[in-house]
Amino acid sequence: MKIAVGCDHGGYELKNLIISYLVGEKVEVVDTGCYSEDSVDYPDFANKVCQNVRSGEYDFGILICGTGIGMSIAANRYREIRAALCHEAFTARMSREHNNANILCIGGRVIGTEVALDIVRVWIHTQFAGGRHQRRLDLLS
């Protein structure tokens, strides 16, 4: 599994923790920045991760900003992207199982580290259920 991970300054600390977790899980990760807590603009980093996923080079993306909202708005501008903003494990699981989300968005200022890592763990281990859910996704295009 290959995952592109990006953040803005509001998600910088959590991004580093998530990358460490993913590497420990033997996931191939690209860190598309940002690389410090200096203020940056989240659309720039959402675009990088989306490009990695849209091109097929990476299977999934994870985007972290302060609330996760800006990242999810930016990512969902792309037709091929289904970005899910999740603050707990149940919606994370559903976003994969029912929505085939290919980008996970998290608010680094909203949830704690353990909840965030739980979300990531559930998200990367849940498969899309297909069937009626694929029919619904087809209606979106």
Binding site for ligand RB5 (CB under 6 A): 8, 10, 42, 65-67, 69-70
State the Cα–Cα distance between residues 121 and 62, nearest whole angstrom.
12
State the Cα–Cα distance between residues 69 and 63, nearest whole angstrom.
10
Q: Is the preceding omega at residue 65 within 30 degrees of 0, hence cis?
A: no
| Nearest to ligand RB5 of 13, 97 (CB atom) | 13
Q: Which residues pair with 65 in a beta bridge?
A: 107
Determine the distance from the C-alpha atom of residue 108 to the mean position of all C-alpha atoms in its chain, rounded to a whole number: 12
Radius of gyration of the chain (CA): 14
Min. distance of Cβ 19 from ligand RB5 in angstroms?
A: 18
| Nearest to ligand RB5 of 43, 137 (CB atom) | 43
Min. distance of Cβ 35 from ligand RB5 in angstroms?
A: 15
CA distances from 123 to 20, 25, 39 (A): 16, 13, 28
Min. distance of Cβ 126 from ligand RB5 in angstroms?
A: 25
| Nearest to ligand RB5 of 14, 19 (CB atom) | 14
| Nearest to ligand RB5 of 85, 92 (CB atom) | 85
Closest residue to ligand RB5, judged by C-beta, is 70
Q: Which of 7, 34, 50, 65 is catalytic?
A: 65
7 given a catalytic annotation: no
98 given a catalytic annotation: yes
